Structure 1
């Protein structure tokens, strides 16, 4: 289970909106001096807060600190869909065009069509997965302390 700590911002029937603070592991990495990701995170836009809708069967109050989580296999399956399906579409259509004896410009066009078809399949699958509770974040437990809520997105205190 991949977990993240957050603060409840809004409550609705069967779900809550949680604000999380995105953290980077660049500070603990030995290669941070030569890494482009560390540079991008330092230069970034500063938008380090995420807002996530998480399912729950408990009643929460605005300002409650909670842990939300999503199963690791859901993340792995999602990554496989996003990366592999478009690539498989690209290669399959290019190989089919080659087997059909199509000239190189036609193979490039077929490969691009296969890539677009792969993206369309991923989009269709993503829309179906949005309705699957196993693929959505869940509130796991309370973090044990209540933080005061400030509408401007900052903690009071």
Structure 2
């Protein structure tokens, strides 16, 4: 479970809006010299605060400090969809055009078309995944408590 600490900003039925302070781990990473994220962190680009809607079945008050979390496998699967699907579309379309002995400009056009089709598939999949509560952030526990409210993939009160 990937966890982040935050403060409750707003409460709604079955969920809360949480403000998190983004912290950079660039000081601990071995690849910081060649990383774009480290460069952006050094120049101060991007918002330092994030606002996240997290599911909960417990009542919280505005200002409560909480830990929110999302399963690691959801992040990994999401990254695979976002990065691999467009690339697979690009290569599949280019290889198909090449197998059909198309001219080089047509192979390039097919590759671009496959890339765009891959992005469209990612968009469609993302819209379908928005309804899956297993992929949504959840409030795990109060920042003052040591035991999480999430056990065996279910929220407990």
Q: TM-score, normalised by structure 1?
A: 0.86
Question: CA offset at residue 97 of structure 1?
Answer: 0.3
Unaligned runs of at least 5 residues, structure 1 = 146-157
Say if 2:94 and 2:110, in contact at 8 Å, map to a contact too. yes
Does residue 41 of structure 2 align to residue 18 of structure 1? no
Q: What SS does the aligned partner of 1:66 have? A: strand
Aligned to 2:133: 133
Aligned pairs, how many?
144
Q: Give the Å deviation of 1:35.
A: 4.0
- Structure 1 runs of 4+ off > 2 angstroms? 27-32, 34-40
Aligned residue for 2:139, secondary structure, equals: strand
| Residues 14/117 of structure 1: CA separation in 2 closer, same or farther (3 Å cut) | same
Q: Structure 2: which 5+ residue stretches go unaligned?
A: 146-157
Q: 2:68 aligns to what?
A: 68
* Structure 1 residue 2 corresponds to structure 2 residue 13: no
Distance 2:39 2:86 in 1: 29
Superposed CA deviations along residues 77-105 of structure 1, whole A, max 9, x for unmatched, are 00000000000000000000001111000
